[in-house]
Structure 1
Amino acid sequence: MEQQNQLLRDRLQTGFLGVIAFALLMFLLVQAKFILICLAIAIIIFSLTSDAIGAIARQRVPNWLATTIALLLIAFGLLWAAATVVSQINEVVTTSISYAEQMQAALPSLLEWLGPEAQETVDTIIRNINVTGWMRTAAGGASNLLSATVLIILFVGFMFAERVWFPLKIESLLSGDRASAAHVRQIITSIMRRVNRYLIVKTIVSGATAICVYGIFTLAKLPLAGAIALLTFALNFLPSVGSIIATVIAVALTYVLTADVGTTLAIAAACSAVQFAIGNVIDPMLLGQTLRLSSFGIILSLAFWGAIWGIPGMFLAVPIMVAIMIVCAHIPWMRPIAIMLSREGHPDDGMADE
């Protein structure tokens, strides 16, 4: 009897400590989200470019030279991307000010089928929009984006500097057990290759979708073609819901800019056709069985990381979910989690050949 009571106390103590650890983890994720988001993005960029640097170094190019060239290209690419986003934000703010009155007239009329009460509600909401506050928020977001870009570049640079020592550190952490160290490296390699392929395919698919949307807006001679294309490119990284949100925004913006139902319907049909063709034909064909993630799990991951880290968390949700599934698949007592996160209950499929 005494032994059973002791076992019960040990389980309660373990559960209590687990709750405390989870609460502390959530606290750290929220309080340090800026640094953690930058670190996660830096790890992804390092993963994407590490193999390329190794391939260049094998062509009799000094490792330090290949690393330096890669870091300079990454820094240039990130700064260019940040500058592009900032310029598009400025264009959106400027256009919003010039179309403010037209938006106040267009949106309520778009919802006239809901009745006068809905129109009045929408009209009240639009009139209460604080454009000045929105501009300040946009400016603050642009400043944070530039700060994050610099921090990501620093993180990537230090990762490249210590890239050679990672295998030795893993082996030292495992007390010199080479078999365990090789197993850990296999898990890390599996995560990197799955995430890398997913991101490369999604970048190609999202880029193609953004180019098509840009062409549609340009042919229709509508402003903000660049901003909508950039938004479409970013939102297509969100599985399931991203393409829907991008299409709804494009259609609503078209009606605000033109106040013409025919043009709006044409843009809606064109954007929907592009999203359907690329998202349901080309995307699955290129991705194949790379992820094998549960669709419901993806939605939960989007909601969870979106609640903790906001919009950046939603973009990082799928890579984080892939990493969690692979790690859990290699830990016996956590394998049920991997099974629940996988699409067909087989989280190991496709890992052996990676």
Structure 2
Amino acid sequence: MAEPSDRPMVNPLVTGVLVVALVYFARAIFMPLAFSLFVIALVWPIQAALQKRVARPLALLITLLFTITVIVVVGSAIVWGFSKLAQWLFYNSDRLQTIYANWATWLEGHGIAVAGAIEEHFNVTWLVGVTQGLIGRLNSTAGLTLLACIFVMLGLLEADDFRNRLCLASAQPYGELLLQISGEIGSKVRRFMIIRSIASVFTGVVVWMFALVAGLELATAWGAMAFALNYIPFIGPLTATIFPTLFAIAQSGSWQLALVVFIGLNVIQFVIGSYLEPSLAGASLAISPFAVVFAVFFWSFMWGLPGAFIGVPILIVVVTYCAHEPSKRWIAALLSGGQRARALSRGD
């Protein structure tokens, strides 16, 4: 029989596993719900400002139209970029087949036996199909977007009433605490997305200019994809680097252009991600890089590409909540980075 001291360690573990399983298997509901709360935190200041000038239904309509427009612009940038890539691959299929056959011959001449298998099984139609399949998966998020928009509409309609209920005496002391934590989370999430948007626009412009200078075709498509994918930490910039590098090989048939593209894009991502964003974010949004990578891959496993996008905002929610709970402040300190972690350890 287990000792009584062992029981408290078993129950939280079992509870955690059950919660993770619930979130995974019920992702059709929890994923749109999480996205709707994320969007509400972003657009609520717009809704509140408009309600002071126009009727509440009109303010809600304007806020929803603005939200949908932003989502469509970002999503269309990715879909359009991959569509242009798929068209280019289709129209240059014979050229690509020749390039890969030459590479296979070169590898075989240097004693790499797998080259023959590559030459035999490589099919440009398969490559185009992979690209089109990726486009299809991006388009499949339309259902998620529709359900999330419904949740956003209902949430914005009830936001004022919910805030008033939290201020009732019967909801204290948790109501005021929840209001304080929610306000801080909303402020941090908005700041994170503003900084991410600035970095994404800057990344897209710089990648577009670099592609033009390097002589890489589809420069506008690469810039649009870099802009949109930069919203997904780690996975997005990695994808926006690998695809142009492989495309450089397909375009030129040589490794020199691919090396230039690979190094150039990595330098761009490193400078923007390591210097521009941290300088704009400041200490209040400082989060451990390991925690960011883990959050992106964990929520990507749970919810796919949408999970990778929302992983860091969820991490911000967890860190902010734990920072307000004395018994859980150590978790916020571990997940934070730099000066923020030291401030939490002092109880600031």
TM-score of the superposition, structure 1-length normalised? 0.81
2:284 match: secondary structure: coil
Give the unaligned 5+ runs of structure 1.
none
Partners of 1:284 and 1:122 in 2: how far apart? 43
**Residues 333/121 of structure 1: CA separation in 2 closer, same or farther (3 Å cut):** farther
Partners of 2:295 and 2:121 in 1: how far apart? 31
Letter in 2 for 1:167: R
Shift of 1:244: 4.4
- Residues 115-170 of structure 1: CA deviation (Å, up to 9, x unaligned): 52353454456349745863773464244122222222212111111111122343
Aligned equivalent of 2:287: 293
Aligned equivalent of 2:227: 233
* Residue among 167, 176, 184 paired with 2:171: 176
**Residues 11/340 of structure 1: CA separation in 2 closer, same or farther (3 Å cut):** same
Would you say how many aligned residue pairs link Structure 1 and Structure 2? Answer: 342
**Residues 116/224 of structure 1: CA separation in 2 closer, same or farther (3 Å cut):** same
**Residues 122/232 of structure 1: CA separation in 2 closer, same or farther (3 Å cut):** farther
Partners of 2:60 and 2:147 in 1: how far apart? 18
Q: Answer yes or no: is 1:63 the counterpart of 2:59.
A: no
Shift of 1:87: 3.7
Aligned equivalent of 1:312: 306
Deviates more, 1:143-152 or 1:112-121: 112-121
- Residues 279-338 of structure 1: CA deviation (Å, up to 9, x unaligned): 333222212223221122222222322222223222222111111111112223322222
**Residues 124/161 of structure 1: CA separation in 2 closer, same or farther (3 Å cut):** farther
Q: Answer yes or no: is 1:212 the counterpart of 2:206.
A: yes
Shift of 1:38: 2.5
1:162 match: secondary structure: helix
Is the CA contact 1:243–1:275 (under 8 Å) kept in the aligned structure 2? yes
1:338 match: secondary structure: helix
Matches within 5 A, 1:18-167: 18-58=12-52, 60-106=53-99, 109=103, 112=107, 116-120=112-116, 122-123=118-119, 126-127=122-123, 130=126, 134=130, 137-138=133-134, 140-167=136-163
What is the root-mean-square deviation of aligned Cα atoms in Å?
Answer: 3.4
Shift of 1:191: 1.2
2:122 match: secondary structure: helix
Shift of 1:98: 2.8
Partners of 1:280 and 1:181 in 2: how far apart? 38
- Residues 52-96 of structure 1: CA deviation (Å, up to 9, x unaligned): 2223334x3333332221112222333444445444443333323
Partners of 1:95 and 1:104 in 2: how far apart? 13
Shift of 1:44: 1.9
Letter in 2 for 1:336: W
**Residues 51/282 of structure 1: CA separation in 2 closer, same or farther (3 Å cut):** same
Partners of 2:170 and 2:126 in 1: how far apart? 59
Is the CA contact 1:231–1:246 (under 8 Å) kept in the aligned structure 2? yes
Is the CA contact 1:328–1:335 (under 8 Å) kept in the aligned structure 2? yes
Is the CA contact 1:201–1:287 (under 8 Å) kept in the aligned structure 2? yes
Partners of 2:252 and 2:188 in 1: how far apart? 43
Letter in 2 for 1:92: L
**Residues 15/51 of structure 1: CA separation in 2 closer, same or farther (3 Å cut):** same
Q: Answer yes or no: is 1:277 the counterpart of 2:271.
A: yes
Report % sequence identity.
23
Aligned equivalent of 1:224: 218
Partners of 1:85 and 1:303 in 2: how far apart? 20
Letter in 2 for 1:162: E
**Residues 249/87 of structure 1: CA separation in 2 closer, same or farther (3 Å cut):** closer
Give the unaligned 5+ runs of structure 2.
none
**Residues 333/116 of structure 1: CA separation in 2 closer, same or farther (3 Å cut):** same
Is the CA contact 1:47–1:192 (under 8 Å) kept in the aligned structure 2? yes
Is the CA contact 2:319–2:335 (under 8 Å) kept in the aligned structure 1? yes
**Residues 15/347 of structure 1: CA separation in 2 closer, same or farther (3 Å cut):** same
Partners of 1:105 and 1:290 in 2: how far apart? 53
Matches within 5 A, 1:328-339: 328-339=322-333
Is the CA contact 2:196–2:231 (under 8 Å) kept in the aligned structure 1? yes
Shift of 1:210: 1.0
Shift of 1:253: 1.3
Aligned equivalent of 1:197: 191
